[in-house]
Amino acid sequence: MEADARFSGQSEGIELFSAEVVRPAIIELVLDFEKKSGHKVLTKFDLNPIVKKRIDQGERFDVVIINPWMIDDLIEQKKVTAATRVGFGRVEMGIAVRADTKPPLWASVDDFKQTLVNAKSIAYAAEGTSGKTFEGVLQKLGIFQAISDRLKPVAGGQTAISVANGEAQIGVIPVSTILEAPGVTLAGTFPSELHTSIDLSGGLSTEARHPAASHALLEFLIGPSADAILSAKGISRLKR
């Protein structure tokens, strides 16, 4: 494929630091951008809080995609340029079960609560945004203490694996991850009344080594040509 004239220029290495929750979409979008632009993108993924911590500690980046409030804090620290702050996407929280089992069903918050109470074991990434959100839901539902002995905190990227190999009966995990994980299936999303969606925003480093190329990447990620890929990966668009 010939390079898109909008991005033509010398090949440059752009460092993109992204939340793990959108890894499947970012990988596909970056490959497309590289083909069209001729620029090389060096992508790193981690849980939202860990991405933020690594940047706080001085790790270099050109473009970052993490929770909106984290972007805002990096702007306050003058590590992200305020004018480049953009909405990227929204991911719903879901329940993963083994692909060979009958998934539980719920039609209300009470049904969902009962599903959690009935679960023999629940895996979740305790250090990530999804894990903190889930713990907040358990507190809101008043069942945190009642099921605490069945909660299985796992490392980032291990929730679906824990369900697939039988270590946990269900897993609390973003839908975007469930759709890509082998051996598991999506039982359903959290009830909308619980307001558990995970939002992501992006921005450019104030010390971006290749500002023009980095800006082109960020514009590509939020542009209309990316919408189909995001939708297929379980990510909806988020306005600024």
Q: Would you write out the chain's pLDDT as a tens digit for each of its 240 residues?
A: 344 444 444 445 899 999 999 999 999 999 999 999 999 999 999 999 999 999 999 999 999 999 999 999 999 999 999 999 999 999 999 999 999 988 888 999 999 999 999 999 999 998 889 999 999 999 999 999 999 999 999 988 899 999 999 999 999 999 999 999 999 999 999 999 999 999 999 999 999 999 999 999 999 999 999 999 999 999 998 764
DSSP element (H, E) containing 56: helix 48-56
- Asked if residue 190 lies in contact with residue 99, where contact means CB atoms within 8 angstroms, the answer is no
Structure tokens at 161: 């694996």
Query: Can you give the length of the chain in residues?
Result: 240
- Calpha distance 195→125 (Å, rounded): 18
Distance CA 31, CA 26 (A): 8
Q: Give the residue carrying structure tokens 């079960």.
A: 97
**pTM summary value:** 0.84
Helix (H, G, I), strand (E, B) or coil at 206: coil
- Which residues lie closer than 8 Å to 221 by C-beta, 6 or more apart? 26, 29, 33, 63, 65, 88, 202
Number of DSSP helices (H) and strands (E) in the chain, helices first: 10, 11
Q: Go through the domains of the chain in sequence order and give each one's CATH number.
A: 5-90+199-237 (3.40.190.10), 93-194 (3.40.190.10)
CA distance 57 to 64: 15
Q: Is 240 exposed, middle or buried (0-12, 13-18, 19+ CB in 10 A)?
A: exposed
